[in-house]
Amino acid sequence: MKIQLDCVPCYVNQAVEATGYVEMTEEARWEVVQKVCEELSRIDNTKPSAQIGQKVHKIIRDFSGSGDPYYEQKRNSNEKAKEFYQEFKSAVENSSDPLNRAARLAAAGNIVDFGPRSKFDIESELRKGLKEGFEINHWNLFMDKLDTSRRILYFSDNSGEIIYDTLFIEELLDYPGIEELALVVKDGPFLNDVTVEDAKDLKIDSIKKVTLKTVDNGDGGESPSLWSDAVKNWMDEYDLVISKGQANYEGLSEYDNSNLFFLLVVKCPIVEEVVGAGVGEKVLINAYVRQHG
């Protein structure tokens, strides 16, 4: 999804917020925000919004002197999400359709975001996730694809919600015929996204049949960017691809692969208009159907 004009003030707000999470003088915070504004004044509006976001947050990391401004927020989000894990795990296991309920919980967990919606209530959103379905619901297509799948590619999004992604992942791995699930994480800090270090700290890499793949966080490391040919090739190599969260939707929405499904909560009016579901609604969208009907 290409950057829209209304994305610009959102990125400025993120810079203001992020600099408030680290020890900086008011003067230093002004300097970071001014550099972000300079970058935004030069943006190529044909590029994906997520790509611009990487540039913005690299400036924040570099000039704030903090390798990960969201470190404490990520840790707190994970700890808060864990408080309800056993309760919701039992609700999934005792459900008549555990996989569907786990998917809805994973989607509900997507509310944990320090980008477009920095204020949220994890517990209430998860409880809504147990009750509410998907506003756009391609579940039958998802199950048809899962029935013939052996290898799954899962693009992760934020900390906190990763706890409930894991619950969904475990249900997917129990599905007959699934041999591997590759979890895609960032190779370094970006907003409150899950990094390879975060995934290892949570021992996700020790789950049987789970492997980790990394995409670039904007620092220009060896990992491919989300919108690269390398990542496109990954999607072609796997039977089923799950893109979790709004940022991954923004980065991958140009693709129309029939094996690609977007699982997210709509968090801003721009995505609301593109997706066709209201802010706060959960959706499960097949990429091919989205583009071709």
pLDDT digit string (tens) for the chain, length 293 residues: 778 888 899 899 999 999 999 888 999 999 999 999 999 999 888 887 888 888 889 999 998 888 899 999 888 888 888 888 899 899 999 999 999 999 999 998 887 654 444 455 677 777 877 778 899 999 999 999 999 999 999 999 999 889 999 999 999 999 999 999 999 999 999 999 999 999 999 999 999 999 999 999 999 889 999 989 999 999 999 999 999 999 899 899 999 999 999 999 998 888 888 899 999 899 999 999 999 98
CA separation for the pair 55, 220 (Å, rounded): 10
pLDDT tens digits for range 252-284: 999 999 999 999 999 888 888 889 999 989 999
The structure tokens listed for 10 are 């959102």
Exposed, middle or buried, 194 (CB in 10 Å: 0-12/13-18/19+)?
buried
Which residue type is seen at 169?
I
Per residue, the 3-state secondary structure of 46-82, as one string, reads CCEHHHHHHHHHHHHHHHHCCCCCCHHHHHHHHHHHH
CA separation for the pair 283, 128 (Å, rounded): 14
The model carries a pTM of 0.92
Which residue type is seen at 221?
G
Give φ, ψ of 159 to 5 degrees.
-65, 165
pLDDT tens digits for range 112-158: 654 444 455 677 777 877 778 899 999 999 999 999 999 999 999 99
CA 135 to chain CA centroid, nearest Å:
18
- What's the distance, Cα to Cα, between the start and end of the chain in Å? 18
